[in-house]
Structure 1
Amino acid sequence: MNKKISLKLSYIVFFSIVLVISSAILAGYAQDNTWIKTFNSQYFDCATSVIRTSDGNYLIAGMTDNGKKIKNIGYPFTVLKIDPSGQILWQKQIGGKEEKKSKSNLIVQNAYNQPLPGSNRPEKIIETKDNCYAVIVNSCFLKFDQMGNFLWAKDYACLYRLTSFEELEDGGFIACGTAKALIPGYSSLVVIKLDVNGNILWSKGFKVEGISSNRNSYFDIHVLKNGDFILGSRCQKDKHNCVQIICMDFQGEVKWSKIYRITDASVYNNYGFYALNLTQKDEIIFSMH
């Protein structure tokens, strides 16, 4: 298996300062179809996930601090859809005074049975096979239709924070994140398999060495062509920064686990692993910071 290591910059796209989308990069269009747009800028905002949708538009999810934490809502996050020229088609803010009593807030609040904790950072947004959209925020999983109307939201008590997910062929999802229950000297990785409505079918927990119980540890998950799942995590072994790659089958049973030492001493100790991806040949690419 080939291993490729690349650096990934934190906050590739800035939501409140300047959003840059180059269609030549994202969609293979001509080089002259490039523009710069600014969406919101009064407070600290940051786009954390951007995708091109099947209808040729773009979907953006981001965290925002509107200057005031709302009781029983928390700091808001935003999802907006824009056309190829950067014009907003619709925008949804979950949390904040303008949306305090909205149906979408009630769905999220009822899913949590508690206030949304802290700043809400959408880790990933995708388009689903039924042409809807799904996003993970903290320990909550939300799904909404093409117009931004929320369909359902789920909160998973076993998780402190969801960090990655993918849709499966059957319309369900596989997701991973950090566990609420921490073990001294370890970071607990949790993998959950969900049905089409976000209900848990099974969950698996793993101990990751050397993270010193860091709840901010980032885990990533992808689906292989044969239906297996591949997970990535930073770990430490013999006081060296490493990456741990775990392969599990469709039922969550581990098929193999390998640790790769990172020789670059500049890799930051506290957070480390940020993303894993696959080539067309199912070779693994992972990135650190």
Structure 2
Amino acid sequence: MGEYMSRSLISCGAVKCVIILFTAIGIVLFATESSWCDLDTLWTKCYGPNVSASASSVLQTGDSGYIMVGSTYFGGDNSDLYVVRSDANGDSLWTRTYGYSAFEGAQSISPTLDGKYIIVGNTYDTQGAGNNMWLVKMDVWGDTLWAKGYGSESAEYAFDGQQTLDGGFIMGGITSKPNDGYDWMLVKTDPNGNTTANWTYGGSGNDYLQSIDNASDGGYILAGNGWATLVKVDSIGAVIWSVDLSPNSVELYSVQQTSDGGYIAVGSKSLPGYRIKCYMLKTDSTGTIQWSRAYGPGAQYDWSIAYSVQQTTDGGFIFAGFSGGAYDVDSVYIVKTDNAGVEEWSGIYGRPYLDAVAKCVRQTTDGGYIVAGYVDGDAWLLKFGVSCCDVNMTPDTYPINIFPGGLFGLTGFIANPTPDPMITDVWVGVDYLNVFYQLYQFNNLGLNPSQFLSAHIVQHVPNYAPLGTYKYVAYCGDYQSNKCDSAFFNFTVVGGRIEGGYDAWTLEGGFDAGNTPNEYAVGSFPNPFNASTTITYALPTAGNVNLEVYNLAGQKVATLVNEYNEAGQHNVTWDAANYSSGIYFCKLSAGEKVFTERMTLLK
């Protein structure tokens, strides 16, 4: 793994409603068409009684399970606050609903200092006061310890909140103005939920406070839109500084303090032509913007919004939300970046022709991630991990200062750290002024378990290259579907042009896609699968090959290969649309060698 590298692994497992995952990734000027992808397996689950439901927030529990909150709907627009506690595989252990007679729902859940949970949401006062903010304190079994509403004759809505450093609680949201529109509103309580203070902020228009986080100095960081975009207040609600990005058409939905004392926030940025992109910015502790970037999966997606962000253990960031426009539906959009906001990998996930949106993403203790949201009227969780190809690069010399028209050398590495054979793509390019320009790609590199390849590469820099600092970036994964890992180093173009130098971003050398495997191997992707799976097998020597599929009773159900094969990597697809769900075994016979792979068919 390189210094700025990350890996991802996302898949579909046994669910109440089987979700087929698809990915479409576009990289600035080189957007690709969407394609169905085969991704390694973890799981995704749908939840909800015989009515629609949605999830807004999720936490990992001490036993590696999860607790999710949201809303469940009944009787038209009526709803209850909805809680699901699951095990580590997403299987429900218990569910709870809380509500009165109208509209209740949860926006966030966070742990308390005494080992319980605090839920921030909303409740409707049927006596005529309208919507109120709502705090619900709950024990680990889902039993209510207390629940309190907060509001006035105006309508108040809470969007986020948590326990404060003094043991009380803070909620952020909006309150309606006397005439029209909304202001930002903070409500501070003691440990028993009794109000100790409330503060409002706003201008003349509509102002929405969407997210709040504790700051290490006892104050709070707020994010939203309207009169300001990012605001730091002290422990008594006084504004210390504010950043207004509304003139740049920026709205923020999630903010978190970072390990360096600064802040990371995500949301959206409107662009000409009615297009919207995800937006992320990083500030220092004083609100000075250190960097900002816009993100989107490709030209076929007209709008993308990020709803949740978290700093990851490697110092980078992950955010989740949705992208819409393609297939006339919304699809979950997830992006992992390094600590400078440079994209390491990303993906689009959902169900064909059905809306899917992510509202919360959190890193899990195993280094993977859990995402909560909704798909086609169901609350759902998506668990994905971080195990696929590894890519790394080592420049011949460093630092690299080069004249326009010159060149530099590097050694690239691509490895398979998994126990299964894989086929991966590698593509390289330069990032200049936060725009990625792809230069070259190496397709269909076959790797056995624990195998790695290396190649020496010479990169030419054209004589028209602008002066400045660039990032040289390498990605691995499926070029047509998802980025799995990345690495980069900086180089600087300086001085005058070299007469007779290179006139294009050409590249010499590279990985050989025809490398002969050094051992036998067999694997399948995806696994578990629905309808079809691709079986990959590696042969270090040529010979007769027999590839068969057996059911759990030991009966042969299919012969996929029975012929002479050359040495190398081979693929064959098994179409199991006419077979029943269950466990199957793929048996590879090559010479005197026999190998088996267990496969799970889910329908």
Change (3 A) 1:48 1:219: closer
Distance in 2 of aligned mates of 1:20 and 1:45: 10
Give secondary structure in 2 for the equivalent of 1:14: strand
Distance in 1 of aligned mates of 2:372 and 2:141: 27
Listed as ranges, the matches of 1:169-184 within 5 Å are 169-184=259-274
Deviation per CA, 1:222-255: give whole Å up to 9, x if none.
1111111112131244555422211111112111
Matched residue, 2:371 = 285
Matched residue, 2:252 = 162
Give secondary structure in 1 for the equivalent of 2:165: coil
Matched residue, 2:126 = none
2:314 to 226, 243, 255: 226
2:262 partner amino acid: G
Distance in 2 of aligned mates of 1:260 and 1:251: 25
Change (3 A) 1:213 1:263: closer
Matched residue, 1:22 = 136
Instruction: Pick the structure with more helix per residue.
Output: 1
Matched residue, 1:61 = 172
Matched residue, 1:111 = none
Change (3 A) 1:173 1:256: same
Structure whose alpha-carbon radius of gyration is higher: 2
1:260 to 326, 341, 349: 349
The structural deviation recorded for 1:167 is 1.1
Give secondary structure in 2 for the equivalent of 1:180: strand
TM-score, L = length of structure 1:
0.76
Distance in 2 of aligned mates of 1:233 and 1:30: 28
Matched residue, 2:91 = none
Distance in 1 of aligned mates of 2:162 and 2:332: 27
Listed as ranges, the matches of 1:91-102 within 5 Å are 91-95=198-202
Deviation per CA, 1:91-117: give whole Å up to 9, x if none.
11124xxxxxxxxxxxxxxxxxxx454
Matched residue, 1:124 = 211
Distance in 2 of aligned mates of 1:235 and 1:130: 36
Listed as ranges, the matches of 1:114-153 within 5 Å are 115=203, 117-118=205-206, 120-138=207-225, 140-153=229-242
Change (3 A) 1:32 1:252: closer
Q: Verify the 8 A CA contact 1:189 1:219 in the aligned structure 2.
A: no
The structural deviation recorded for 1:22 is 3.3
The structural deviation recorded for 1:29 is 10
The structural deviation recorded for 1:279 is 2.2
Change (3 A) 1:79 1:285: same
Distance in 1 of aligned mates of 2:182 and 2:132: 21
Matched residue, 2:383 = none
Give secondary structure in 1 for the equivalent of 2:138: helix
Distance in 2 of aligned mates of 1:30 and 1:246: 32
Change (3 A) 1:45 1:30: closer
Q: Verify the 8 A CA contact 2:133 2:157 in the aligned structure 1.
A: no
Matched residue, 2:159 = 48
Q: Verify the 8 A CA contact 1:243 1:262 in the aligned structure 2.
A: no
Matched residue, 2:339 = 250
Q: Verify the 8 A CA contact 2:168 2:191 in the aligned structure 1.
A: yes
Change (3 A) 1:19 1:140: closer
The structural deviation recorded for 1:182 is 3.8
Listed as ranges, the matches of 1:189-204 within 5 Å are 189-204=278-293
Give secondary structure in 2 for the equivalent of 1:226: coil
Distance in 1 of aligned mates of 2:144 and 2:254: 33
Give secondary structure in 1 for the equivalent of 2:296: strand
Q: Verify the 8 A CA contact 2:279 2:306 in the aligned structure 1.
A: no
Matched residue, 2:546 = none
The structural deviation recorded for 1:49 is 1.1
Give secondary structure in 1 for the equivalent of 2:172: strand
Change (3 A) 1:221 1:175: same
| Structure 1 segments unaligned to the other structure (5+ residues) | 96-114
Deviation per CA, 1:54-94: give whole Å up to 9, x if none.
2110001121113224xxxx632211110122221111112
1:122 partner amino acid: L
Change (3 A) 1:29 1:90: farther
Distance in 2 of aligned mates of 1:57 and 1:85: 7
Deviation per CA, 1:25-78: give whole Å up to 9, x if none.
4xx6995731x3332231221111121112110001121113224xxxx63221
Change (3 A) 1:50 1:181: same
Any runs of at least 4 consecutive aligned residues in structure 1 with deviations exceeding 6 A, and if so which? Answer: none
Give secondary structure in 2 for the equivalent of 1:76: strand
Q: Verify the 8 A CA contact 2:135 2:149 in the aligned structure 1.
A: no
> Kindly, what percent of the aligned residue pairs are identical?
20
Distance in 2 of aligned mates of 1:5 and 1:173: 32
Q: Verify the 8 A CA contact 1:82 1:90 in the aligned structure 2.
A: yes
Distance in 1 of aligned mates of 2:155 and 2:231: 23
Give secondary structure in 1 for the equivalent of 2:217: coil
Q: Verify the 8 A CA contact 2:159 2:209 in the aligned structure 1.
A: yes
Q: Verify the 8 A CA contact 1:144 1:151 in the aligned structure 2.
A: yes
Distance in 2 of aligned mates of 1:117 and 1:173: 26
Distance in 2 of aligned mates of 1:50 and 1:130: 17
